[in-house]
Amino acid sequence: MSSAASASAAGGAGEEGAAAAAQPQQEGPVVTCKGVNGLDKVVLREVRGSSAEVYLYGGHVTSWKDEHGEELLFVSNKAIFKPPKAIRGGIPICFPQFSNFGNLDPHGFARNRTWSVENDPPPFPVPTSNKAYVDLILTHTEEDLKIWPHSYEFRLRVALGPGGDLMLTSRIRNTNADGKPFSFTFAYHTYFSISDISEVRVEGLETLDYLDNLQERNRYTEQGDAIVFESELDRIYLGTPSKIAIIDHEKKRTFVVRKGGLPDAVVWNPWDKKAKAMSDFGDDEYKRMVCVEAAAIEKPITLKPGEEWTGKLELSAVPSSYYSGQLDPDRVLQDSSVPEDSIS
């Protein structure tokens, strides 16, 4: 990977970012190196050419490229790769709170913490022969306990499949010693890179109820045969199917979102006024991104001590002709052991 490619993958954070993003000297399916502003990152490469980058800060996926080297995730050119600011774009992890559904800062603290690589994690539900993956772990700190008084272990596996699919699996365990349960809301806040927001439609959420964040979270029912974008949109769709499609007409490409243990889906685009109000987001960048987020929001997940929850996300990019009314109904998540009610 060239220095220019590294800088682009790290979010196009300018020439300073490019200089700080050290070139990995060794090749292989998993390479640890420095990213923008010297932050540690892990680069995953699949043998056919797809790649992903994960910053330890936030356990944050900032790049996912296909076998042709085309970037599939959006990261703002104004993203600030400097703690404690969350990285704008990619796949931020919202835990233990989505948005302001609780008393914590919006979207919780997992995206503002530095995770560790876990070299010997507990057995994964389904073993894999693929080597392009990394296991990260986040546990409570004294700082966390002051604002959210619970002990937890959050394990995250980021993997590239043989066909270039990007897979994220979160396993969250209650390790409270005081016998108390805890509850949380969660989202993979995925920013997809698109040609133009006016060329995009989201299918799979028709006829479903949603909470409209722009209308005091009042509940409505989706009336359209697809979601299209003509102004700011910020909705939480409820009881959603395990597969959702994002169709980019101009690129003739469809993103397929598959999920397990995550019944809700957030669809968001800030449009022009909100874009201009965000310091880490370009004024016109709303045209080149859309967020479709696998989430558990309406009904918080509750874990008793010793219980573990699993939430799985699998992203594919395929030719648009792939989607013709049904989203590959015979295919399931690679880890078929993850049911919608995935607490063990």
Per-residue model confidence as pLDDT tens digits over 231-245 = 999 999 999 999 999
Q: Assess if residue 208 is contained within a domain.
A: yes
| Span 98-111, average pLDDT | 91
Q: Assess if residue 96 is contained within a domain.
A: yes
**Residue in this structure with the two tokens 């897979």, named with its chain if needed:** 167
Is the confidence at residue 258, as pLDDT, over 90?
Answer: yes
What CATH number does the domain containing 212 carry? 2.70.98.10
**Higher-confidence residue: 12 or 275?**
275
What is the C-alpha to C-alpha distance for residues 226 and 274, in angstroms, rounded to an integer?
A: 24
pLDDT attached to residue 210: 98
pLDDT attached to residue 328: 52
Res. 15 pLDDT band, cuts 50 70 90? very low
Q: Assess if residue 333 is contained within a domain.
A: no
Beta strand extents in 126-274 (DSSP E only): 133-139, 152-160, 166-174, 182-188, 191-193, 200-203, 209-212, 218-221, 227-228, 233-237, 243-248, 253-260, 264-269
What is the C-alpha to C-alpha distance for residues 329 and 311, in angstroms, rounded to an integer?
A: 20
pLDDT attached to residue 337: 40
**What are the Cα distances from residue 287, in Å, to 283, 317, 324?**
9, 19, 25
pLDDT attached to residue 124: 78
pLDDT attached to residue 101: 87
What is the C-alpha to C-alpha distance for residues 78 and 12, in angstroms, rounded to an integer?
A: 8
**Higher-confidence residue: 246 or 343?**
246
Is the confidence at residue 104, as pLDDT, over 50?
Answer: yes
Annotated active-site residue in 46, 150, 189, 203? 189
Q: Assess if residue 329 is contained within a domain.
A: no
pLDDT attached to residue 185: 97
What is the C-alpha to C-alpha distance for residues 192 and 174, in angstroms, rounded to an integer?
A: 31
Res. 127 pLDDT band, cuts 50 70 90? low
Res. 333 pLDDT band, cuts 50 70 90? low
| Span 333-344, average pLDDT | 47
Is the confidence at residue 136, as pLDDT, over 90?
Answer: yes
pLDDT attached to residue 7: 37
pLDDT attached to residue 27: 74
Q: Assess if residue 73 is contained within a domain.
A: yes
Q: How many CA atoms lie within 13 A of 296 on its CB side?
A: 24
Catalytic annotation on 107? no
pLDDT attached to residue 329: 46
Is the confidence at residue 326, as pLDDT, over 70?
Answer: no
What is the C-alpha to C-alpha distance for residues 337 and 342, in angstroms, rounded to an integer?
A: 9
Domain total in the chain: 1
Two structure tokens written together for 313: 């996300």
DSSP letter at 121 equals P
Two structure tokens written together for 213: 């964040």
Q: Which positions ≥6 away from 131 have C-beta within 8 Å?
A: 29, 30
pLDDT attached to residue 121: 86
Q: Assess if residue 269 is contained within a domain.
A: yes
Is the confidence at residue 281, as pLDDT, over 80?
Answer: yes
| Span 222-230, average pLDDT | 96
164-206 pLDDT, tens digit each: 999 999 999 999 999 999 999 999 999 999 999 999 999 999 9
pLDDT attached to residue 103: 86
Annotated active-site residue in 46, 285, 293, 314? 293
What is the C-alpha to C-alpha distance for residues 291 and 294, in angstroms, rounded to an integer?
A: 10
Q: What percent of the chain has pLDDT over 70?
A: 84
pLDDT attached to residue 207: 96
**Which residues span the domain enclosing 61?**
28-317
Is the confidence at residue 23, as pLDDT, over 50?
Answer: no
Average pLDDT, the chain: 88
Q: Assess if residue 254 is contained within a domain.
A: yes
Q: Assess if residue 150 is contained within a domain.
A: yes
Catalytic annotation on 216? no
> What single letter denotes the amino acid at residue 70?
E
